[in-house]
Amino acid sequence: MIKKAVLPVAGFGTRFLPASKSIPKEMVTVVDRPAIEYVVKEAVAAGIEQIILVTHASKASIENYFDRNFELETTLEQKKKFELLKSITDILPQHVSVVSVRQPQPLGLGHAVLCAKDIVGNDDFAVLLPDVLVKDESAQNDLANMIARFDTSSMAQIMVEAVPDHLTDQYGIVDVSTSPAEGQSVVMQGIVEKPKVGTAPSNLSVVGRYVLPVKIMQLLEQTPKGAGNEIQLTDAIAMLQKTDAVEAYRMKGQTFDCGSKIGYLKAVLHYGLSHAELGNDFRALIKDLDI
C-alpha cells in the first residue's frame, strides 16, 4: 500500500505575485483554509499517512500550520472556545504525520522529488503538486483509484485530463494510443514535458498527481536538465517507461489551478458554494450581485 506522499512546496510562486512575495502561495486561503490543506486532505482521503513536504526557508508557515500551536490551544481552552479549539486541532487525523525536507536550490520538480529520497526510503510513493486542487467528493477519490490500480498492477500511475490544444505547451503531455475513459488507466507510449503547440502527442495533460515506484529515485539521479533548464519529473518517468509499463489515469474530478490568479478565483467560487456552513449565504450573495 502507498502510505507516503511527497508535496513539493519550495517554489516561489511567481504566477501569484505580489501575494506570494511574503505569503507562500500554498498558504493563500481558499474560503476558510489554506490551499495546501485541500491537497493534504485529498492525500489523506486516499490512505496516505505520511506527508513529506519538500520546502524552502521562506515557507515555514506551511510547517507551522500542520504543527500544534500550544499557546493558541491553551488560550482557546481557557476561554472555553471549544469549537474553535477543535477546528485547529482536528486539521488532520492523529495517524497522519507531516515531515519536511529542504530543497536547497530551485533545480526543478524532478530535483524536488529527489530531495525526499531518504525519507521515502524503500517505499513506493505518491506525488501531489499543490498548485492544483482536485475536487472529487466521491467515496473513492481519483488518487485512491490510482493507488488501488498501482497495488494490483505495480504500474506507475500518472493522472491526466484533457486540455485545449493551444495549452499543451504548459503541461506534461502523455502519448496514448486510445484515450482512457474517466476513472480508467491505459498504458502510455510516452510522456513529454511542455511540447510546443502543434507537436503534442495528445491533448491529455499531466495534472500533478503521480503514483510512482521507488525506483524513480535512481532514475531522477541520472536525469539531465530538460525543459526550462530544470530536472524534470516528466523526463524521469519517460526513462522509467522505457523499461516498465506506465499508465495514464484519466481523472473524474474537477481541477482548479490555484497557481494562477483566475484559477484561484474559480476555486474560491466552487469551494465557497459547496461549503457546508457558508455555501447558502455565499450563493445568495452572488445572486445579489445581479450579474
Contact positions vs ligand G1P (CB under 6 A): 109, 129, 131-132, 171-172, 193, 205-208, 232-234
Nearest distance from residue 224's CB to ligand G1P, in Å?
Answer: 15
Spatial separation of the C-alpha atoms in residues 16 and 27, rounded to whole Å: 12
Nearest distance from residue 206's CB to ligand G1P, in Å?
Answer: 4
Nearest distance from residue 23's CB to ligand G1P, in Å?
Answer: 19
Q: How many CB atoms lie within 10 A of CB 125?
A: 24
Closer to ligand G1P by Cβ: residue 202 or 232:
232
Spatial separation of the C-alpha atoms in residues 175 and 162, rounded to whole Å: 12
Nearest distance from residue 192's CB to ligand G1P, in Å?
Answer: 9
Closer to ligand G1P by Cβ: residue 48 or 163:
163
Q: How many CB atoms lie within 10 A of CB 67?
A: 10
Q: Which DSSP symbol is given to 237?
A: H
Nearest distance from residue 205's CB to ligand G1P, in Å?
Answer: 5
Spatial separation of the C-alpha atoms in residues 283 and 52, rounded to whole Å: 36
Closer to ligand G1P by Cβ: residue 76 or 212:
212
Closer to ligand G1P by Cβ: residue 34 or 208:
208
Position closest to ligand G1P via CB: 172
Closer to ligand G1P by Cβ: residue 145 or 234:
234
Residues 187, 237: contact at Cβ < 8 Å?
no
Spatial separation of the C-alpha atoms in residues 280 and 185, rounded to whole Å: 37
Residues 197, 169: contact at Cβ < 8 Å?
yes
Spacing of C-alpha 47 from chain mean position: 15
Closer to ligand G1P by Cβ: residue 4 or 194:
194
Closer to ligand G1P by Cβ: residue 10 or 129:
129
Nearest distance from residue 19's CB to ligand G1P, in Å?
Answer: 18
Spacing of C-alpha 155 from chain mean position: 20
Spacing of C-alpha 211 from chain mean position: 12
Angle at 124 between CA 143 and CA 223, to 5 degrees: 100
Strands 246-250 and 156-162: parallel
Nearest distance from residue 290's CB to ligand G1P, in Å?
Answer: 35
Residues 61, 158: contact at Cβ < 8 Å?
no
Closer to ligand G1P by Cβ: residue 39 or 76:
39
Nearest distance from residue 70's CB to ligand G1P, in Å?
Answer: 36
212 burial level (CB within 10 Å; 0-12, 13-18, 19+): buried
